[in-house]
Structure 1
Amino acid sequence: MPGPEDFRFDGIGTRWEISTPRPLDAGVRARLLTLVERYDGDWSRFRSDSTVSAMAREPGRYELPAEAADLGWLYRSLYDITGGAMTPLVGGSLERLGYDAAYSLRPEGSALPAPRWEDVLTWNGQVLTTFAPLVLDIGAVGKGQLVDLLAVELRSCGVDSFLIDASGDLLHRGPDPVSVALEHPYDPARAIGTVSLAGNALCASASNRRAWGDGLHHVLDGTTGLPVSTAVGTWTIAESTMVADALATALFFVPGSELEQTFDFSWLTVFSDGSAAYSAGFEGTLFS
């Protein structure tokens, strides 16, 4: 359970909580907040002063921090595996349906497919070169990556045991496992099971989060610009929060067994008809 010593703050549009055996001192807290602000200033499509917003205004060559290399590799891998359904170029599609910088939640017209990667973008390590104005959206991966970056910062400050909770995306480090409830896809007040976290990450994605209008939600198929309607909730466990976060979204597009050919993780998918599929190594317990 959270204690009074836990560090709570808002960042990248979500609520964070870092639990540690002892309170973090002011210097450590300041370093963590500086990192969150820097990441948001580079990658947010909701800030007019971000690098990503600059890409939406003008094509060109953009150099981003070191984490861009891992981000680009992971997105390109999943773009290829999902046949373009999972893509960082879906930002314009989200804006078209109303999930824009102003959070208008009012669709501007029919669904808009994302542009093809090879037509508008090259992503080489830290350097992104765009050939047309585009709305980059790293929402399926960015929060998980920031969790991992905060973990590196904590360890550099000598903090080795912690639980980072980024609004339900979790990273645990330390000797004592924690039990986590798996939220029901249709009822946040209920759980469908539990999982024990022991030195790894747990991420989830659900179509009931960031939902608006008539069947609209944030998990879009880049090839059509339409919300996915088959899966309603996914959970993933991996060593890296970035990988777990990305694969929780990828499970909306391809079976977990296919993703297991490339990634080391365990998973659970609940579908709109009430059925479920999960990996042989999934560490959770589902309620009957």
Structure 2
Amino acid sequence: MGSSYTVQYVRKAGGPTPGQVQQEVEAILQGIDQRFSTYRSDSLVGQFNQLPANRCQAMPADVLQLVRVGEQLSRQSDGAFDLTVEPLLDLWGFGPQAREEKVPDARRLAQVRERVGYTHLRIEGQQLCKDAGVEVDFNSIAAGHAVDLIVARMQALGVESFLVEATGELKAMGRKPDGSAWRIALELPRDDLQIAQQVLPLEGYGVSTSGDYRNYFEENGQRYSHTFDARLGTPVAHALAAVTVLAPTALMADGYSTLLLILGPEQGWRFALEHRIAAVFVNRVEGGFVSRATPAFNSIAGK
């Protein structure tokens, strides 16, 4: 995943040692890499992406599960969120097959857009099929899925209180030894400094923040982020710098934070209210940032 992970847990007598937990967690992450990595040609996703149109490939249950989650998010967002944006990421310079970060010409963009669209995917039994030369990219939800798998494994090991984080997505269960809640800091979306915007006590929720402030390039004074609106084939261009989502699973927190970032400050806000999503939106304004939280977020945060 090109990132890091942390696991903090309260160890009881007879509970797993840190070495045992590390071994279990890294086995899960290696499995995620072998199934979902777009940077490995031998991963299951890498193999599927190399298939021509009108071909199918057998997939494990969790890959098919994430395809269904992606389809749900695509339908809910009228196609703005899409798991098949991999060719666009490469074209604009953000993907594993990228050559350089630059704005593509209109002809090349039109050609690549013909290979993008979640409706080109279908599930047949235990197989994932494509009717066009699409390439899937699960990076918008795979990390949340990894966190959920680690959470399930920690519980199976008999651990009741822990905080799991992978690539910034996280989930907390139980409480610390002194009885207090796990506390996580929401970062102000600046690319120069790490500043805590808000500190949140957390139990039983997955947390994900999506933003455009770390992975972007500039050309002719215009900022282009790695977050794409699949309906347009271009990076998002609006004032929403970051959005944090709380959800019962890290997978859905991960997916919805990406979806809301794509939709932007107005459309995303309306979507969050309509679907009762616990979210904080951080918008760029002259001289800084302004944040606002949905009622669902405030009720969880105790405000």
* TM-score of Structure 1 vs Structure 2, range by shorter chain: 0.7 to 0.9
**Offset, 1:223:** 1.3
Q: Is the 8 A contact 2:162 2:172 kept in 1?
A: yes
Matched, 1:37 2:30: yes
Matched, 1:18 2:30: no
Q: Is the 8 A contact 1:68 1:126 kept in 2?
A: no
Structure 2, unpaired ranges of 5+: none
**Offset, 1:156:** 1.4
Match of 2:95 in 1: 100
Amino acid at match of 2:145: Q
Match of 1:258 in 2: 271
Q: 2:67 aligns with which of 69, 72, 76?
A: 72
Matched, 1:185 2:197: no
Match of 2:231 in 1: 223
- Name which of structure 1's ranges 202-211 and 240-249 shifts more when overlaid on structure 2: 202-211
Normalised by the length of structure 2, the TM-score is 0.81
Match of 1:170 in 2: 170
Query: Relative to 1, partners in 2 of residues 1:191 and 1:105: Cα closer, same or farther, differing over 3 Å?
Result: farther
Match of 1:268 in 2: 280
Query: Relative to 1, partners in 2 of residues 1:87 and 1:199: Cα closer, same or farther, differing over 3 Å?
Result: same
Structure-to-structure mapping, 1:1-288, within 5 angstroms: 12-22=1-11, 24-59=17-52, 60-101=55-96, 104-107=99-102, 109-110=104-105, 111=109, 112-113=112-113, 115-118=116-119, 120-123=120-123, 126-175=126-175, 176-187=180-191, 188-214=193-219, 215-230=223-238, 231-252=240-261, 253=263, 254-259=267-272, 261-262=274-275, 265-273=277-285, 274-283=289-298, 284=301
**Offset, 1:147:** 0.4
Q: As a proportion of its length, which structure holds more helix?
A: 2
Structure 1 vs Structure 2 CA RMSD: 2.4
- Name which of structure 1's ranges 217-226 and 84-93 shifts more when overlaid on structure 2: 217-226
The CA distance in 1 between the partners of 2:64 and 2:271, in whole Å, is: 24
Amino acid at match of 1:109: P
**Offset, 1:192:** 2.2
Amino acid at match of 1:39: I
Q: Percent of aligned positions with the same letter in both sequences?
A: 23
The CA distance in 1 between the partners of 2:243 and 2:103, in whole Å, is: 29
Q: Is the 8 A contact 1:229 1:272 kept in 2?
A: no
Deviations 1:4-42 (A, max 9, x none): xxxxxxxx2211011112373434422221221111111
Amino acid at match of 2:7: I
The CA distance in 2 between the partners of 1:285 and 1:61, in whole Å, is: 48
Q: Secondary structure at the match of 2:297?
A: coil
Normalised by the length of structure 1, the TM-score is 0.85
**Offset, 1:212:** 2.9
Q: Secondary structure at the match of 1:281?
A: helix
Query: Relative to 1, partners in 2 of residues 1:103 and 1:153: Cα closer, same or farther, differing over 3 Å?
Result: farther
- Name which of structure 1's ranges 69-78 and 148-157 shifts more when overlaid on structure 2: 69-78
**Offset, 1:125:** 6.9
Query: Relative to 1, partners in 2 of residues 1:268 and 1:201: Cα closer, same or farther, differing over 3 Å?
Result: same
Amino acid at match of 1:80: R
- Name which of structure 1's ranges 41-50 and 211-220 shifts more when overlaid on structure 2: 211-220
Q: Is the 8 A contact 1:147 1:171 kept in 2?
A: yes
